[in-house]
Structure 1
Amino acid sequence: MTNRPSTRRAAHPQVGTRPPAERLESADPVDGAEPVTPEEPVQQLDATDYSQEDRLDDAEILPGVQLNPQQQKALQEMEAFVHSREKLYLLTGYAGTGKTTLLQALIKKLRAGGDRRRIVFTAFSNKATKVLESMASQWNLDIDCMTCCKLLGLRPEIDQTTGKQVFKPDANSETYIDRYQLVVVDEASMINEELWLLLTLAVADLIKQIQLLFVGDVAQLPPIGEPESRVFSQIYDRSDLTEVVRYGGAIALLAESIRNNLTRAQLPRFVTDTNCDRTEGVFAVERREWEKLLIRAFTSDACKHDADYVRGLAYTNRRVDALNLSIRNAIHGVGQPRFVEGDRLVANSPYMVGDSLILQTSSECEVLDVATGQDGPWQVWILHVLTDEGNHRTISVLHDLSKADYAKLLNLYAQEKRWQEFWDLKNAFADVSYAYCLTIHKSQGSTFQNVFVDIPNALINRNIRERNQLLYVAATRAAKRLFVYQ
């Protein structure tokens, strides 16, 4: 079979009618829900070696899952790719088109045919990688999962000329990519130009039998400062899923409505649309009710046992900070120190101690112990934290009492162009914020049971397409329930 891309066509699937919207006051949508809780050589075969009789039934490769014709075609095309000498392939699909189902089907089919090549799932962020680990465990797949940085033996740093995050070889880490024959890169829309070049360079050697299979959603947000990830424009061999097959809830229908109208100025009408027991669906409420339910979710017993039970999402940092303060006051009480045991934090930039990467940008952690101390002339918070990867780390955060002097010294270094001293000081402390509410950009790649989206705040963005991409990403972060107000 020739390895070629699927034919593109617009996706406007028919949406079934939904039950009439219910009023939120008829039941409690927060308290009533349960918390969800040495390498083997690879035999390279040409795709033409597979006769139709030798193939497993593509439509029934997974128990209880019937692939539609478009999915079957994409599966056959991906099979042809992995049995070819090509290096790059792209699988695109909107939310609900079955991308993860196809990945599972591909790996199950390879294993059923005796293909024991080593496979790794990777993503840019720790959160997205954590989702991959959960899926791999659920599917009982014998594959590895790790971030792109770990796979390539890189560490993120702040470029001292531009102030942007860049990736450098980590002398303390080995490169893992050469251990694998198939690398599946999820959340491809987050792959910026630099990471794209690093990934493709790593597999460019014709002697290496390494293939990259990128998986992404073209409707999601592009890398910051770039119009689109190069993944979507530089790979010719591809399969594009356009038929939404997961019509299981109102969230998917709302996301589809937004995605089908990315360039439309008028927003869809947000209405309450849930299942019978109100444990799944969209809840459209007034602002005061939205804020009350947000606080109730964060102070519920379910939230104490599931770090991903609920998140608030907004567009601007100012709104995120305001919501974080309200939520934290409700959890720990007004007037508490800046950090207390149980606080959930997110890194705003990479934090390193010497050559060791402690926290990557957007990594989340929970505070286990709090102390104060002195680091040279600076007063600091000394926090013992538990990362989402299960690692215990100690981070140093500049104390509020030292911020004024710190800012003055940074300004002096900048004025005198003493850039080495400037960046050494700027990177000396961890830059962390509360993680109860996140910017929509930071949330990309994550999944939470309950998501509260501040729609009016997103409307501040006057770029219609980007605004709608923000709302699409925000809506698709919710696994169970989406709370909005307009």
Structure 2
Amino acid sequence: MPTDRTYRLTEVLRHDGAILSLATATRQLTRGRAPFQPAEGGGSKVVTYPTLARWKAAAITAACSPEAQADADHTRILCWTNANVKNLNRIVRERVYGIHAQPFMPGERIISHDAIPDPAGGSPLVHSTTEMVIRSVVSDGGNLPGDELEPVAIASHGIRRFKAGEKVAAPWTFWTIAAHAPAIGTVEFNVLDSQDQARWRKCRNALAQLAKSTTDRGDRKRYWRMFFQRKDAFGQVEPAAALTVHKSQGSTYRHVYLHPDVDGFSVNPAPIHNRLAYVGITRAAETLHVVADQEVD
């Protein structure tokens, strides 16, 4: 008897009621998405706002609430573009920690941008798009392998300061973060300070160019080893109050604020808007907060 079977998903089982209805209607379209209108029933609710400004104010208030700060699954703002994610995270951080807060704060929820390498080699300390909570953070600094090489020092200081005697790249400022995620426990890694990012890229490129241009095989291997040591020295993380829809896949939040940049508001919505809208809608378990298609009282 044949054992192969093919199964086809015909229902969305994660949600119920108003959110399920909107998700199903969106999934059945090939372009854009179903109208965003207020709805309630079956254990969930679609909440609409007449303007983007009203939606944004409500989203920021919810993301800054004690409930959202205490519960990772309570509230999340979802966007398509990184620019909107960055802007909303900045506003939320300033509201929660103040405008003069250091770049990373104990208790803050962050997400890895890419996999965070283990400087000692082997498997990554943290995989990409892993959410963590900062346990502690310390400002630190130091030099990296290759900082003593002439092209790297010149890239760091400029030719005038190099000729004046500064033969080694300036020490790097970074943050040593201990962060916890249920799946991996507590890990420690370094994140380069944002003020050093541009200089770091210049020095990295100078080291790569040196490795490419040398004719000595031994030096070439040594320079490339320094290059990758430099590359693996720091992880990249960002706040997680707002996320792109792509990074939210696989997660469910009680309350979702879906930015209009993902829901097909463009003049000529492409099929990607339909897929983004569907993913964003189905992240919400209890309430979905959106900008209405039509003015509502």
Alignment TM class, shorter chain as reference: 0.7 to 0.9
Q: 1:432 aligns with which of 216, 237, 240?
A: 237
Bigger mean CA offset, 466-475 vs 454-463 = 454-463
- Percent identity between the two aligned chains: 30
Taking a change above 3 Å as real, the CA distance of residues 374 and 456 of structure 1, as seen in their structure-2 partners, is closer
What SS class does the counterpart of residue 240 from structure 1 fall into? Answer: coil
Separation in 1, partners of 2:238, 2:14: 35
2:70 corresponds to: 305
TM-score (normalizing by structure 1):
0.48
The number of equivalent residue pairs is: 250
**CA deviation map 1:199-230 (0-9, x unaligned):** xxxxxxxxxxxxxxxxxxxxxxxxxxxxxxxx
Is residue 347 from structure 1 mapped to residue 112 from structure 2 by the alignment? yes
2:182 corresponds to: 388
Separation in 2, partners of 1:428, 1:443: 27
Q: 1:330 aligns with which of 90, 95, 110?
A: 95
For 1:267, the aligned partner's letter is R
Bigger mean CA offset, 474-483 vs 247-256 = 247-256
Contact 1:351 1:357 in 2 (8 A): yes
2:154 corresponds to: none
Q: 1:267 aligns with which of 12, 28, 33?
A: 33
Is residue 371 from structure 1 mapped to residue 165 from structure 2 by the alignment? no
Q: Displacement of 1:399 after TM fit?
A: 1.4
For 1:319, the aligned partner's letter is N
Taking a change above 3 Å as real, the CA distance of residues 245 and 343 of structure 1, as seen in their structure-2 partners, is closer
Separation in 2, partners of 1:461, 1:437: 25
Is residue 241 from structure 1 mapped to residue 9 from structure 2 by the alignment? yes
Separation in 2, partners of 1:337, 1:321: 16
Taking a change above 3 Å as real, the CA distance of residues 461 and 326 of structure 1, as seen in their structure-2 partners, is farther
Q: Displacement of 1:301 after TM fit?
A: 2.9
Q: Displacement of 1:457 after TM fit?
A: 5.0
Is residue 465 from structure 1 mapped to residue 271 from structure 2 by the alignment? yes
Taking a change above 3 Å as real, the CA distance of residues 246 and 349 of structure 1, as seen in their structure-2 partners, is closer
Contact 1:298 1:331 in 2 (8 A): no
Separation in 2, partners of 1:310, 1:372: 30
Taking a change above 3 Å as real, the CA distance of residues 390 and 411 of structure 1, as seen in their structure-2 partners, is closer
Q: How does 1:81-100 map to 2 (within 5 A)?
A: none
**CA deviation map 1:116-144 (0-9, x unaligned):** xxxxxxxxxxxxxxxxxxxxxxxxxxxxx
Q: 2:19 aligns with which of 234, 251, 256?
A: 251
Contact 1:290 1:484 in 2 (8 A): yes
Q: How does 1:407-418 map to 2 (within 5 A)?
A: 407-416=201-210, 417=212
Contact 2:63 2:77 in 1 (8 A): no
1:477 corresponds to: 283
Contact 2:47 2:290 in 1 (8 A): yes
Separation in 2, partners of 1:246, 1:361: 25
Gaps of 5+ in 1: 6-237
Taking a change above 3 Å as real, the CA distance of residues 363 and 433 of structure 1, as seen in their structure-2 partners, is same
**CA deviation map 1:330-380 (0-9, x unaligned):** 211222111111211100111122225321100011112121112323211
CA RMSD of aligned residues (A): 2.5
Separation in 2, partners of 1:344, 1:462: 36
Q: Displacement of 1:318 after TM fit?
A: 1.0
Separation in 1, partners of 2:12, 2:267: 28
Separation in 1, partners of 2:181, 2:15: 35
Is residue 398 from structure 1 mapped to residue 192 from structure 2 by the alignment? yes
Q: Displacement of 1:458 after TM fit?
A: 5.3
Separation in 2, partners of 1:305, 1:375: 35
Taking a change above 3 Å as real, the CA distance of residues 291 and 471 of structure 1, as seen in their structure-2 partners, is same
Contact 1:247 1:253 in 2 (8 A): no
Q: Displacement of 1:479 after TM fit?
A: 1.1
For 1:334, the aligned partner's letter is I
Taking a change above 3 Å as real, the CA distance of residues 360 and 406 of structure 1, as seen in their structure-2 partners, is same
Bigger mean CA offset, 436-445 vs 421-430 = 421-430
Separation in 1, partners of 2:267, 2:246: 13
For 1:350, the aligned partner's letter is A
Gaps of 5+ in 2: 144-170, 213-222, 293-297
Bigger mean CA offset, 357-366 vs 409-418 = 409-418
